[in-house]
Amino acid sequence: MHAEYLDIVDCSDRITGQKLRSEIHALGLRHRAVHILVFNDLGQLFLQKRSLKKDLNKGLWDTSAAGHVDAGEDYDSCAPRELAEELGVAAPLEALFKLEPTIALGMEFIQVYRCRHNGPFQMAADEIDEGNWFELAEIDQRVQENDVRLTETFRIIWNNYRGN
């Protein structure tokens, strides 16, 4: 894995320095991430099953695409990059809301976006083991039941998205 530098941010999301991703996670420092919800024309949501090669949340279902905001990058440039890297597509993105960092969210400020795309996707093999379209009612039920096959971050994002 390459050396991935991320910005460290304060409680107001202002940059205070940079460190390696591994150090930031080990020390529990605040940093930035984006998550993208991709909907199709049928109103379904695409979820990715995280690769078993990942260091966190291996094999769990997560948002359509997500990633860390690199050092020197901003949310709005990171989101289309992640969409292209993970799913191999481009689409107009709409910023929805930003979550404050908590331990449950890995101390990440998370900017959440949505877009519309029907696929097909070119999923990044080192990031994603599989992907599928889900009906929103099924996702609602799985999140309500605290399905452990979903990442905790996705459950938090979904509850915020649905206004719960």
Closest to 47 in 3D by CA, of 56, 59, 33, 55: 59
Mean confidence (pLDDT) of the chain: 96
pLDDT in tens, 76-119: 999 999 999 999 999 999 999 999 999 999 999 999 999 999 99
pLDDT tens profile 110-139: 999 999 999 999 999 999 999 999 999 999
Going by C-alpha positions, the residue among 5, 11, 45, 1 that lies closest to residue 142 is 45
pLDDT for res 57: 86
Give the pLDDT band (50/70/90) at residue 25.
very high
Q: At residue 1, does pLDDT exceed 70?
A: no
Q: Which domains does the chain have, with CATH numbers?
A: 5-161 (3.90.79.10)
Q: Please state, in angstroms and as integers, the Cα–Cα distance from residue 46 to each residue in 4, 18, 145, following that order.
A: 27, 32, 20
Identify the pLDDT of residue 2. 63
Q: Which two tokens stand for residue 5?
A: 């530098």
pLDDT above 90 as % of the chain: 92
What is the model's pTM? 0.95
Q: What is the DSSP string of the chain?
A: ----EEEEE-TTS-EEEEEEHHHHHHHT--EEEEEEEEE-TTS-EEEEEE-TTSSSSTT-EE-SEEEEPBTT--HHHHHHHHHHHHHS-----EEEEEEPP-TTTTTEEEEEEEEE--------TTTEEEEEEE-HHHHHHHHHTT-TTB-HHHHHHHHHHTT-
